[in-house]
Structure 1
Amino acid sequence: MAFLGKTVLITGATGNVGSSAVKEFLEQGANVIATSRSKSSLEKLTSKLQEISVPTEKLIPIVVDISNDQELSKIADQIRDKTLPEIDHVISSSGPWWKYDHLYDVTFEQWNEVMSANVNPHFITYRNFIPFLLNKPGSSYTLVTGASGLVDVIGNIPSGITGISQCVLFGISRVARFETKDNAVRFNELLIGFRIEDDATYKKYISEGKFSESSDIVTTSWKFGSIFLSIAKDNNVKGEVIKIMSTTEKDDFEKVHKFK
């Protein structure tokens, strides 16, 4: 168990990406602080993990709105006063997909809603938890972004308002990688450019013939999370943008950066 005695904080823990990280770190013996806005989603995640025999004794589910700085700062206070275990790794993974036809049709209320869901949580997570890791040897912080902000992947321009929010995250990543380059923490951006579905949806797509099991552009959540182990464990992975656009690229990265 490579992460025995370590603690990982994972935001967006009930999403397809976040839950994949929760699974892998629990299997490697880590304490996992898993945050979500929804208590029922955390309970559902726990049940799913238990169904596939993942130990959940070290899972610490916390219901919190990570777009609310005051709420998230309370978790940081609990770490400081030892109510929660000291953290060694952070995975910032949150943000749904929003689709509007034209930017000029987006209302200011919609704009704020997207930024509140896709951008603010990552900034708030960073400002509250990076101080715990700055001077901690072996620590890591992984910011998860998506390909909707990439010109070379999503047609001629970034994909709508979601693409704009991802471009903001690219900026946060650039600044964070620069300002932590001389610290012990290893800050990295994981940019995901292919589909990651929950296990049930993935199996449904396969059975319906929408994808084959050998498809390079879609995978199940339960198979994806191992990449977080490689990023967190390899001390040579620091200040990088790790662009993973297919299952092949994920497998190739893990061959080079083995976590064991």
Structure 2
Amino acid sequence: MGQDRRSWGFDPTTPNIARLYDYYLGGKDNFAADREAAERILAVAPELRLAARENRAFLGRAVRFLAESGITQFLDIGTGLPTQGNVHEVAAEVIEDARVVYVDKDPVVLGHARALLAGAGGTTTVVEGDLRRPEEILNHEDVVKAIDFGKPVGLLLVAIMHFIPDGDDPARILTTLRDALPPGSFLVLSHGTRDARPAAVTAGTQVYEGATSPLVLRTRDEIGTLFDGFDLVEPGLVWLPEWRPDISVQFDPPETSLILCGVGRKI
């Protein structure tokens, strides 16, 4: 490419989890290494492309549900590359002045998000932060300035916890975040599961071993523990197309969506 990749702040030859997701969604913000890795998974699990789109659709439905439930501020950690139906856009359809903080550690994501939001006004903020260090996110000056933790918050952890290995103590991360939220707050979470089709599980975990973060797929019961301290709203912890669908998406059977999801309310 003619330029020292170190000066970019990232390595375009290493598959990147945000750019892989962008490719599944049909985006253009990806490199050859991302496309090659994605196609290795899609060759075995072609349903992943539709699953990524359904995960994005779940995010939109959940954000709309939270906004209609009175949530006016959202903390989206592991936001990924901007695409259609971003959180601030969906929330604004219900609440004009909804506040959104996007958090990610990826320099590519941060650059794109800041460019997109340059004209979005003062209700949307982009923050560099690592989910593995939740205290730093919660205490970040821009987060503290944007989010009033005395009022209910919508915490979004969509397709991000399956990139947190057990060694980083997912339960501690969720406990730290939950304890910072007042009653009436919501957790929106989706997570890949190894209860899905074995061939897709094997292909996915193998490919992501060489990416910027490993893929750690968990069982339904393990994912359910991430909602400790929250009451799951109906329909509970379900496959993506089963969470309050607003259109008919054909997954036959539903577990071919590969991802479980749910929304919990802190009492």
Instruction: Place the TM-score, normalised by the shorter chain, in its bin.
Output: 0.3 to 0.5
TM-score (norm. length: structure 2): 0.41
